[in-house]
Amino acid sequence: MGGRETDLLTQLNLGPLWIPFTANRQFKQNPRLLVSAKDMHYMTHDGRQVLDGISGMWAVNAGHCRQPIVEAIQKQAQTLDYATAFQMHHPAAFQAAERLAAIAPQGLDHVFFTSSGSEAVDTALKIALAYHRVRGEGTRRILIGRERGYHGVGFGGISVGGMTGNRKAFGNMLGAVDHLPHTHDLDKNAFSRGQPQWGAHLADALENLVTLHDASNIAAVIVEPMAGSTGVLIPPQGYLQRLREICDKHGILLIFDEVITGFGRTGKAFAAQTFGVTPDLMTFAKAVTNAAVPMGGVMVKKGIYDAFMTGPENAIEFFHGYTYSGHPLASAAAVAALDLFKNEGLFERGESLAPYLADLVHGLKGLPHVIDIRNIGMVAGIELAPIPGKPGARAFEAFLRAYEKKNVLVRTTGDVIALSPSLIAEKKHLDEMVGAIADVLKTLP
Ligand SMILES: Cc1ncc(COP(=O)(O)O)c(C=O)c1O
C-alpha cells in the first residue's frame, strides 16, 4: 500500500455512507476510489491512472472535465445559483431545451426537465397517462414494459422494468402493468454483429397483450431501444419498427428510454435515429450534461404538448415537476455539452469509430468463457458463461482484475462485461481496453 493511499484512506471515514448498487461491506474492505479525471482517464486513490472504458457510466460522452463545460458551470454558479422552477424560470433552461429540440428525432420538439433518468421515466409514464385523460381516453391506464428492461429505480420505473433483482425486494409495484418478452436468445443470435437478424416477431407479443387487455385500456409501451443495463441487448432487425406499427394501429403511445442510448452512443444523436423509428416520447439523462451536473428529461411530440394546452390559460396544465427541473447549473452544463458535441462532431466521430470497436471486440470470440459478443455504435457487450451456482461472479472478477491489474475500468451486469467508451476515444484507447479484457479472460477461473 503506497503512502498516498494510506493517507487518503486514513483521513476518510467510510462508515456512514451507504453506497448504491454496491456490495458495501466488501467494498469498504478494499475500497476503489476515483479522485480526479481528465479526458479518457481517472486517477485512483492509490495514484494509478485508469482508462475509463465506460464513459463514467454511459454518460461522459465527451470525456472528463472538459473545459467549456467546467467554465459554463462555474460562470452559472456565480451568476444565478438557483431559480424557482415553478411559475418562474431562467434563460439557460430555454437554451438547453432549444438545443435538444434541434437534435431530437423529428417531431419531438418539447422538453420537460428532471434531474435523473429515473425521474425522467416516471415523468414520461405520467405524461402518457395524463395525455390520454386530457383527450377523454382515461381508461388507458395500463403501462407495458419489457422483461429485462431497466428504467431506473422509481416505483414507475421498477414496475415497467424487468430486472428481477431490482424488483423483488420491494413487492408493491404499480398494478396496471404488463411486460413484453425480452429479445435475448443465444441459440439464435449469439455473436451477431450489430442488429441480430432473428427476433422481430417478438414484437408481436404486443398484439397478444392488446387482445388480453384491450387497446382501450393500454396507455403506453416503454422500451430501451437498446437494453443497456441488463447487458447490452441490441434490438433485432425490424423489431422496433414492428412495435411502432402495432402501437400506431391501437393508439398506444411508444416511449423510448434513451437514458443510455442518447447523445451519440449508438452512432446518431439518439438510438431512435440510428434504428429509424420515432417514438412519441423519449427520456434522456446522463450525457445531456456530459454527466457534469445531474439532469434528465422527457422529449415529447408537439401533439402531446398541445393536448395539454387546452384549458383556461391561467390553469396549470400538468401537475408535475421537481424543485430542480431545469436547474440553472444543469442547464448551463447541458448547453455547453450540447455545443461541444456539435463543435467537435462527436456523434459522427463515434459513428466512424464504431466499426473499429466492433472488429476489436468480435476478435475476443474463442477466448475462454466467452459465449456471446454484441455491439452497436460505441457500445459492446461480452457475455461470459457463468460459474455454476454463482451468477455474475465471473464477470465481476473480470471487472476487478481489469481495474486492479490492467488499469482499465469496465462495467459488468450479470455475466456481461459492458463497454461504452467516450466518443473522444482514440484507437489506441480501444486497443488498450479490449486488449486488457483479452488478457483478463485468459486468467479467469
Ligand atoms: C435506460 C435507463 N433508464 C433509466 C435509468 C435511470 O437513470 P438514473 O440512474 O439517472 O436515475 C438508467 C440508468 O442507467 C437507464 O439505463
Q: Which three cell numbers stand for residue 73?
A: 458551470
Number of H helices, E strands in the chain: 17, 15
Tens digit of each residue's pLDDT (9 = 90 or more) over 292-323: 999 999 999 999 999 999 999 999 999 999 99
How many CB atoms neighbour CB 89 within 10 A? 15
Per DSSP, what are the bridge partners of residue 370?
384
Give the sheet arrangement for strand 408-409, strand by strand.
Answer: 34-38, 41-44, 49-52, 408-409
Q: Which residues contact 214 (CB under 8 A, 6 or more apart)?
A: none
Confidence at residue 7, expressed as pLDDT on a 0 to 100 scale:
81
Q: What is the pLDDT along the chain (445 residues), one digit of tens a residue?
A: 445 666 888 899 999 999 999 999 999 999 999 999 999 999 999 999 999 999 999 999 999 999 999 999 999 999 999 999 999 999 999 999 999 999 999 999 999 999 999 999 999 999 999 999 999 999 999 999 999 999 999 999 999 999 999 999 999 999 999 999 999 999 999 999 999 999 999 999 999 999 999 999 999 999 999 999 999 999 999 999 999 999 999 999 999 999 999 999 999 999 999 999 999 999 999 999 999 999 999 999 999 999 999 999 999 999 999 999 999 999 999 999 999 999 999 999 999 999 999 999 999 999 999 999 999 999 999 999 999 999 999 999 999 999 999 999 999 999 999 999 999 999 999 999 999 999 999 999 8
Q: Which residues line ligand 1 (CB under 6 A)?
A: 116-118, 121, 150-152, 224, 228-229, 257, 259-260, 285, 296
Alpha carbon distances (Å) from 40 to 60, 292, 344: 9, 15, 16
Confidence at residue 1, expressed as pLDDT on a 0 to 100 scale:
45
Cα 151 to ligand 1 centre (Å): 6
Cα 338 to ligand 1 centre (Å): 19
Backbone angles phi, psi at 300, to 5 degrees: -130, 155
- State the closest ligand 1 atom to the C-alpha of 119, by its place in the atom list counted from 1: 11
Helix or strand holding residue 384 (H, E):
strand 379-384
Q: Can you tell me the distance from the alpha carbon of 419 to that of 357, in angstroms, rounded to the nearest whole number?
A: 10
Q: Of the candidates 137, 127, 70, which has an alpha carbon nearest to the alpha carbon of residue 340?
A: 70
Alpha carbon distances (Å) from 107 to 285, 314, 362: 19, 27, 36
Helices assigned H by DSSP within 184-270 = 186-189, 205-213, 239-250
Tens digit of each residue's pLDDT (9 = 90 or more) over 195-235: 999 999 999 999 999 999 999 999 999 999 999 999 999 99
Backbone angles phi, psi at 357, to 5 degrees: -60, -40
- State the closest ligand 1 atom to the C-alpha of 296, by its place in the atom list counted from 1: 10
Radius of gyration of the chain (CA): 22
Cα 117 to ligand 1 centre (Å): 4
pTM tops 0.95, yes or no = yes
Q: Can you tell me the distance from the alpha carbon of 312 to that of 350, in angstroms, rounded to the nearest whole number?
A: 47
Confidence at residue 3, expressed as pLDDT on a 0 to 100 scale:
59
